[in-house]
Amino acid sequence: MTVPIASAPNHRANLIGSLWMMAAMVAFSFEDAFVKAVSENHAVGQVLLVFGIGGALLFAVIARFQKQRLLNPDVLSRAMGIRVVFEVIGRLFYVLALALTPLSSTTAILQATPIIVVLGAAVIFGEKVGWRRWAAIIVGLIGVLIILRPTTDSFSALSLLAVIGTIGFAGRDLASRAAPLSLSTAILGFYGFIAIIVAGILFSIWDGKAFIWPDGHSILYYVGAILMGAFAYASLMKAMRSGDVSAVTPFRYTRLLFGIALGMILFGERPDLPMMVGCGIVVLSGLFILWRGKMKTEHLDT
């Protein structure tokens, strides 16, 4: 057994990373609110197209400023292809969920993403997951069922849109692990928004609803969603590169607080007790999985 050289934990880096993560979650929550607001009067396909084009142009400018090639050969890798497919699925169904269901419940279901990622890592990548984490995964999925309440009169099939979107985002995150390291945040962001454009085109063809010219309020919503989305994505990358993953990742769950708060303030939503209980179970399960993963890593390092 090798004993690592003792070193003081980098508290400052973890603090900075945590603040970046919270900033990302605040921005994501406002992005969701802007998308939901503009979806009330605009076709979902149009919302996806405008949002995707705006974000892609923004990240293209950033990549150009950083002198990075958008047509990097590594973009054609199998992992990137899978990532784009899951991005399309995640974005399309999540935006549909935002448009058709309460913001608070959509945000709550999204919190199961880390649980599904760990489940996928075990099944797809063969990552070793002990019985404690398997138990936490099962408990977390039960928490999602409590939020959905499939056996009660209050169940809405539309809530499954958020579930499919969450699975899409989890698949995207798993594919990102296998993406070539040569692809920077700006390049990944650019192609992520290209995937949103693809989702918008495909859904528009299927939906057949006419696009309408946005008024002043809608333009503000679109601009707000694009800016918040780009800032959130960049902040998330900053967070993951500033501190220890195990220290920074738990702050992802602050998105739940901001999402519920915005749903209540802007859209008059009132989360009920079963949803709050389900949220608590999902968050606690996710935190336990992260903690056990950290314990496993520390054990392997000693």
Q: What is the pLDDT of residue 1?
A: 43
Report the distance separating Cα 267 and Cα 190, nearest Å. 31
What are the per-10-residue average pLDDT scores of the chain (302 residues)? 46 84 92 93 92 92 87 82 89 91 90 83 77 86 84 74 91 77 80 90 89 90 92 82 70 88 91 88 84 63 50
Given this model, what pLDDT does residue 42 score?
92
Distance from C-alpha of 161 to C-alpha of 163, rounded to nearest angstrom: 5
- For residue 79, what are its two tokens? 């992992």
pLDDT of residue 8: 43
Whole-angstrom Cα distance, residue 108 to residue 101? 12
Q: Is the distance from CB of 136 to CB of 289 less than 8 angstroms?
A: yes
> Is residue 135 exposed (0-12), middle (13-18) or buried (19+ Cβ within 10 Å)?
middle
